[in-house]
């Protein structure tokens, strides 16, 4: 109500100001009209909209419009392809491509690989954001609310558990001299490559890059991450149960990630992305 009165007052004062201005202008003494100045004949103006000029401008304007549309389409397609390349790069991470010779990693190389997989790449955080979104939809832990605050808590929990698990796995692999990277299958065929992706989630190479070993460090790190996560999750919590669930999560998520890496080339060709280029180690 007060806003309506304020607006009415503003309109009233504006009308009052306009009436006063007109009155003051009417009271000013009129100056005598000046003597008429000799006028020159106006120069003939060219008709800007002549039919001949319209005929010339029509094709030119149409050509510019077509070029602008083509450029917009090209920029849009380029941006989409770059987005797909970026997405596949941060999702797959570092892996050994088919045909490459695997060589043991040095200590500096292991350190760089750990930082890329854990802290300094967008994928290290966006994967946890996705997992936190699933937790939010499921409503776990149930003690956290369903709003923004609850999502932040779930993301922080996922990130803390992941950093703990990845750090323990990196330390274990370095101590055992195990291979932390995924290597694409040298075989052919969908089922052979799928089997390789599943097996490599449970088996890795030792320092010879030939002999196979169980993924002790990977699953030990996953168990440790689940164990440590009970420190900030709502109580009561069974530490060993949390560790077991984390190991099951690694079995499912790790297999899915290996499958995506194995068939990333085919997936990229379907969506129009470029061939992946991974860091050399």
| Residue 71: predicted pLDDT | 65
Average pLDDT of every residue of the chain:
78
Residue 77: CA atoms inside 13 Å, Cβ hemisphere, count? 8
Q: Which residues pair with 183 in a beta bridge?
A: 96
**pLDDT level of residue 268 (50, 70, 90 thresholds):** confident
**Residue 33 confidence (pLDDT) above 60:** no
For the ranges 94-103, 110-119, 129-138, 160-169, which has the lowest average pLDDT?
A: 94-103
Q: How far apart are CA 280 and CA 266, in angstroms?
A: 21
For the ranges 34-48, 96-110, 176-190, 215-229, which has the lowest average pLDDT?
A: 34-48
26 or 269: whose pLDDT is higher? 269
Beta carbons of 204 and 212 less than 8 angstroms apart? yes
| Residue 226: predicted pLDDT | 96
The model's pLDDT over 60-70, given as tens digits with 9 standing for 90+, comes to: 767 776 776 66
Across the range 115-127, mean pLDDT stands at 88
| Residue 23: predicted pLDDT | 42
Q: For 160-183, b where at least 16 C-beta lie within 10 A, e where not — what string?
A: bbbbbbbbbbbebbbeeebbbbbb
Q: How far apart are CA 260 and CA 270, in angstroms?
A: 13
**Residue 165 confidence (pLDDT) above 80:** yes
| Residue 278: predicted pLDDT | 56
Non-local (6+) Cβ contacts of 153 within 8 A are: 144
Give this prediction's pTM: 0.66
The model's pLDDT over 198-236, given as tens digits with 9 standing for 90+, comes to: 999 999 999 999 999 999 999 999 999 999 999 999 988
The model's pLDDT over 184-203, given as tens digits with 9 standing for 90+, comes to: 999 999 999 999 999 999 99
């Amino acid at each position: 109500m007060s806003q309506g009165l304020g607006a009415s007052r503003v309109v009233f004062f504006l009308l009052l100001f306009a009436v006063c201005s007109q009155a003051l202008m009417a009271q000013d003494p009129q100056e005598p009209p000046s003597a008429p100045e000799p006028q020159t004949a106006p120069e003939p103006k060219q008709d800007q909209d002549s039919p001949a000029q319209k005929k010339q401008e029509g094709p030119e304007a149409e050509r510019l419009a077509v070029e602008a549309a083509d450029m917009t389409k090209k920029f849009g397609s380029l941006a989409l392809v770059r987005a797909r390349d970026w997405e596949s790069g941060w999702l797959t991470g570092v892996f050994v491509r088919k045909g490459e010779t695997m060589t043991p990693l040095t200590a500096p190389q292991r350190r760089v690989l750990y930082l890329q997989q854990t802290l300094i790449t967008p994928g290290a955080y966006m994967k946890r954001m996705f997992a936190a979104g699933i937790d939010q939809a499921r409503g776990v832990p149930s003690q956290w609310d369903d709003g923004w605050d609850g999502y932040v808590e779930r993301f922080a929990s996922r990130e803390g558990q992941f950093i703990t698990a990845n750090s323990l796995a990196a330390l274990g692999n370095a101590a055992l001299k195990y291979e932390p990277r995924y290597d694409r299958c040298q075989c052919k065929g969908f089922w052979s490559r799928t089997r390789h992706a599943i097996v490599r989630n449970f088996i890795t190479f030792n320092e010879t890059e030939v002999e196979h070993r169980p993924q002790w460090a990977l699953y030990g790190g996953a168990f440790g991450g689940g164990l440590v996560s009970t420190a900030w999750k709502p109580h009561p919590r069974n530490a060993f149960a949390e560790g077991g669930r984390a190991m099951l999560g690694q079995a499912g998520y790790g297999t899915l990630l290996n499958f995506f890496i194995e068939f990333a080339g085919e997936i990229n060709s379907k969506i129009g992305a470029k061939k992946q280029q991974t860091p050399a180690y």
